[in-house]
């Protein structure tokens, strides 16, 4: 992997990641951009104890542009975009409309491919492996920023999820605090260790493997299962066989197998609702250990992949119970979801 760091016209950082070492990236950003002005702040909720990012400047972010005006395409034929070069493998750049910025963290955009009409599931294994290397590299670099407490790579796919740019891309949020879900996982892990002397994540995976009913696929280095108490209609958790705190700790075997395993899961998601149906909207989220939190060594890196589509033409909405009280009600039994995801495996 070759890494080339440059700067956009407004001062934001952009990084090219290339599979070939002989690629030269010297195109300049010729757009007449002013410096980015953000108004991000983080406020703490005194009742819940969590944090809320206030980012009013995001009201002006690019919203569903026509395909020929996508800012994530390469710059070609006189049209200038966020990526100055005419082609790329993977590109990362600072978000022009960040939810978090400056002392309040950092937000980055990750473009998985220059092909506007592709999706992650369309990538070949070599390209998917490059994206994994990029996620790992960004985790390592962002972890060095003193204001960052947690690094969260994720992808939103589909207009139903709220995606405003159709180009295949994800984001990385570098939070200046430990997120509520991770804090809860750490508390649960600490309680489990005190009660049993064992690691909670390892016990959960062992239970799913022993039960087998909710296991979607398993290889030498990865296991994917629908959790016993799944919140979402179709939800898969993907764990490396050897527990590690974050992406930096994945061993060579897990890195080699990940592209094939992950692409298979994404392709199964697109087959859940039958042939000829629209692509399945999903969120794909890497859960990594907070960088300096107590009990970090008890955490387990894993990826959570889920869709808000509960059946053909119907979405799962976070209504009164979910949004008002945080209590999820799932219409699809986890065992049925797992059976369907096994049923649509590649032949």
The set of catalytic residues is: 169
Strand ranges inside the chain, DSSP E: 2-7, 13-18, 41-44, 51-54, 90-94, 106-111, 150-157, 169-175, 215-218, 222-225, 234-240, 282-287, 302-307, 309-311, 314-315
Q: How far apart are the first and last CA of the chain?
A: 32
Contact at 8 Å (CB) between 238 and 218?
A: no
CA angle 279, 284, 290 (to 5 degrees): 170
Strand ranges inside 45-191, DSSP E: 51-54, 90-94, 106-111, 150-157, 169-175
Contact at 8 Å (CB) between 228 and 248?
A: no
Residue 180 is encoded by which pair of tokens?
Answer: 């509520």
Q: Exposed, middle or buried, 20 (CB in 10 Å: 0-12/13-18/19+)?
A: exposed
Say if strands 302-307 and 234-240 run parallel, antiparallel, or are unpaired.
Answer: antiparallel
| Phi, psi dihedral angles at 340 (to 5 degrees) | -65, -40
Residue 288 is encoded by which pair of tokens?
Answer: 């990594």
User: Which is nearest to 293 in space by CA: 190, 139, 173?
Assistant: 190
User: Which is nearest to 113 in space by CA: 69, 146, 74, 164?
Assistant: 74
Contact at 8 Å (CB) between 345 and 267?
A: no
- Residue at token pair 């082609």: 87
């Amino acid at each position: 992997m070759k890494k080339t760091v440059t700067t956009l016209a407004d001062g934001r950082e952009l990084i090219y990641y290339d599979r070939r070492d002989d690629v030269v990236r010297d195109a300049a950003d010729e757009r007449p951009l002013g410096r980015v002005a953000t108004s991000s702040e983080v406020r703490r909720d005194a009742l819940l104890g969590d944090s809320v990012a206030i980012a009013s400047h995001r009201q002006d972010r690019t919203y569903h542009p026509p395909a020929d005006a996508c800012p994530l395409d390469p710059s070609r034929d006189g049209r200038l975009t966020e990526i100055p070069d005419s082609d790329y493998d993977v590109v990362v750049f600072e978000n022009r409309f960040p939810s978090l910025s400056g002392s309040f963290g950092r937000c980055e955009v990750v473009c998985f491919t220059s092909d506007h009409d592709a999706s992650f599931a369309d990538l070949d294994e070599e390209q998917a492996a490059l994206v994994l290397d990029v996620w790992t590299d960004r985790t390592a670099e962002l972890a060095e920023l003193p204001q960052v407490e947690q690094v969260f790579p994720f992808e939103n796919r589909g207009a139903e999820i709220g995606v405003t740019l159709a180009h295949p891309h994800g984001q990385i949020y570098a939070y200046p605090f430990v997120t509520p879900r991770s804090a809860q996982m750490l508390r649960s892990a600490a309680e489990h260790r005190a009660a049993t002397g064992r690691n909670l994540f390892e016990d959960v995976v062992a239970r799913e493997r022993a039960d087998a009913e909710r296991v979607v696929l398993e290889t030498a280095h990865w296991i994917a299962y629908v959790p016993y108490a799944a919140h979402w209609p179709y939800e898969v958790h993907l764990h490396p066989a050897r527990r590690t705190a974050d992406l930096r700790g994945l061993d060579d075997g897990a890195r080699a197998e990940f592209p094939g395993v992950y692409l298979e899961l994404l392709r199964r998601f697109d087959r859940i609702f039958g042939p000829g149906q629209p692509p399945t909207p999903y969120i794909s989220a890497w859960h990594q250990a907070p960088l300096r939190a107590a009990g970090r060594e008890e955490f387990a890196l894993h990826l959570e992949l889920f869709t808000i589509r509960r059946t053909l033409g119907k979405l799962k909405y976070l209504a009164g119970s979910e949004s008002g009280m945080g209590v999820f009600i799932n219409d699809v039994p986890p065992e049925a979801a797992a059976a369907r995801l096994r049923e649509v495996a590649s032949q």
